[in-house]
Each structure stands twice: as structure tokens, then as C-alpha cells.
């Protein structure tokens, strides 16, 4: 038996749309999920994972 998905984070979505993006409420509620994702930056690719080579380069540049 699978558990139900978590509820949609309406509080966080409304904070991003209304407070951070300063969208008028009527525009916020007319956005499609894809439009909102694009405006809020969630369609950005994930940053590359930090590699051992990256750590070694930092350790060589900042030996302390």
C-alpha cells in the first residue's frame, strides 16, 4: 500500500508569488503550474554535484 502524496505547499507558493515576485493576486491565481514554475526559477537545472577534484582544487588554492 502506497502512502498518499504530501499536500501541495500552498503557503510557500503564495509567499513566492505574492511576496517575492510581487504578483497581483488575480495574476497569481491565473498562472498555470508551468508558468509559475518558470517564474519562480524551479525549472533551472540543478547545480553540478561537488566532486573530489573540485575539493582538491579548493584545498590547493586555500591551504590552511
Domain boundaries, the chain: 9-43
The answer to whether residues 35 and 49 touch, using CB atoms and an 8 Å cutoff, is: no
pLDDT at 49: 86
pLDDT higher than threshold 90 for residue 48? no
* pLDDT digits 0-9 by tens, 12-35: 999 999 999 999 999 999 999 999
Phi, psi of 53 (to 5 degrees): -65, -40
Asked if 40 and 16 touch (Cβ cutoff 8 Å), the reply is yes
- Judge whether residue 64 has pLDDT over 90: no
CA distances from 40 to 11, 27, 34, 49 (A): 14, 14, 10, 22
Where does the pLDDT of residue 46 fall: very low under 50, low under 70, confident under 90, or very high at 90 and above? Answer: confident
Decide: 9 and 23 in contact? Cβ < 8 Å: no
Amino acid at each position: 500500500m502506497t502512502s498518499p502524496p504530501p499536500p501541495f505547499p500552498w503557503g510557500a507558493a503564495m509567499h513566492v508569488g505574492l511576496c517575492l515576485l510581487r504578483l497581483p493576486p488575480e495574476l497569481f491565481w491565473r498562472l498555470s503550474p508551468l508558468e509559475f514554475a518558470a517564474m519562480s526559477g524551479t525549472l533551472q537545472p540543478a547545480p553540478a554535484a561537488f566532486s573530489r577534484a573540485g575539493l582538491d582544487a579548493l584545498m590547493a588554492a586555500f591551504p590552511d
